[in-house]
Chains A and B, each alone.
Chain A
Amino acid sequence: MSPGFSGRRQPAGPKLPPGQYLTQDFPVLSAGPTPRVPLDTWEFTVITETGERHTWSWAELTALPAEDVTVDIHCVTKWSKLQTHWRGVPIATLLDDVETAADFALAHSYGGYTTNVPLDDLLDGQAWIAYEFEGEPLAPEHGGPARLLVPHLYFWKSAKWVRGLQLLLEDEPGFWETAGYHDYGDPWREQRYQGD
């Protein structure tokens, strides 16, 4: 024990999942160099289990009806940030015309990152392709130009620099999930690691 050491933290409030503490800033966690994706070449692609592809350019994505959402976010490294404001397109809107029997999705990012999420968790107002944060274009270090936003799961599921969703019949673990992290990642059940 280190008497007088508390770290860069504030006491947890009542609204936080177990083991989390509150932060006001927005820590940047990185697993690699920050990709710089020009908007004129940016694409978002959904690939179904049959190999069918649906692709949106930046202009096409941002022309779709967007939603403004206010959500709490919870990082597996134990910080939580409350009442964050985002703007983006619901995943359900993108999947409207997509024919699939898949139960799972693997999100792919520019830079090679992946993360797996059950498809049901991306629908019904639970997930977005977000491109604005606090009224500003999403900065590259926070996943801009666009990131997945799935705030009811630990934030590693909200893939930065997202470039597509692969729809799958079987669950396929992503970058952190193959290295010990939980396949689902519900912060309220503290599902941080495999076996939690």
Chain B
Amino acid sequence: MARAAVSRRLTWRAATLQEVRAETGSAHTLVFEVPGWAGHLPGQHVDVRLTAEDGYSTERSYSIASAFSDRDDLVELTVQRIPDGEVSPYLVDVLQPGMRVELRGPVGGWFVWRPADTAPVLLVAGGSGVVPLMAMIRARAEAAVRVPFRLVYSTRTPEDVLYADELRRRALEDRGLDVTVVYTRRVPDGHGRPPGRLTAADLAEWGWPPDFEPSVFVCGPTGFVEAAADLLTDAGHEPQRIKTERFGGTDA
């Protein structure tokens, strides 16, 4: 378990890009090999550091997308390219398999789901905020537990949906997992709900009622998380049961 991995101070280590999967036009999943990776919990993140030739360096946090498996030393990050970003365009467009970055992690012990937890889970994602929630969905399947999960995923258009095929497949195959995608700008043909921001009605229809006392995880841009957390508390969810992860408004 990750407990063993958090018993000493962390430092930077080399991670080698092994494989790239295009998720959407602007997001890639980067599969890194990190020798001796001792495990992580779904919801944790890593910090990635880039260093230029003259010594200038900068770091950003990225959520881990994959569930931990003790069969390999792989860690998957899904990175959304932000056009004027400093780090994400490099990771998406420049970094090639075989190249290395520095990585620090896994870190973060609050925004995590543990397969031993028995409360129903409501996942609320805005845009690429779905990444750590996907790690939870994958870890649930990996651990073969039946805790009921609902994902409400707000994104701009059908082309922006991350993990679209896998979510469709898991919604059919993973028993007790419901997936709802809410579109803010444009909907697919034949979709009933008109495009628009996530509403209280969406959460009432596709989430869990507060009486079920679900554990709620909300992740997305800061503005989205503020709005969604307000809707949830207004609907009667206890603030203590709502865990949030805001990744700011820009390069995350």
Contact = CB atoms under 8 A, between A and B. Distances in A.
Interface of A: 1-9, 21, 78
A2 B56 contact: no
Interface of B: 50-53, 56, 58, 84, 86, 90, 94-95, 99, 101
A4 B52 CA distance: 8
A4 B95 CA distance: 9
A176 B177 CA distance: 48
Contacts of A3: 99
Contacts of A8: 84, 86
Given A5-B52, A7-B58, A9-B52, 10 more contacts: A2-B50, A2-B51, A2-B99, A4-B90, A5-B51, A6-B56, A7-B56, A7-B86, A8-B86, A21-B56
B94 A4 contact: yes
B235 to A, nearest CB: 27
A1 B99 CA distance: 10
Interface of A is mostly: loop
A165 B218 CA distance: 43
18 contacts: A1-B52, A1-B53, A2-B50, A2-B95, A3-B99, A4-B90, A5-B50, A5-B52, A5-B94, A6-B53, A6-B56, A7-B50, A7-B52, A7-B56, A7-B86, A9-B52, A9-B56, A78-B56
Nearest to B93: A4
Nearest to B90: A5
B51 A1 contact: yes
A29 to B, nearest CB: 13
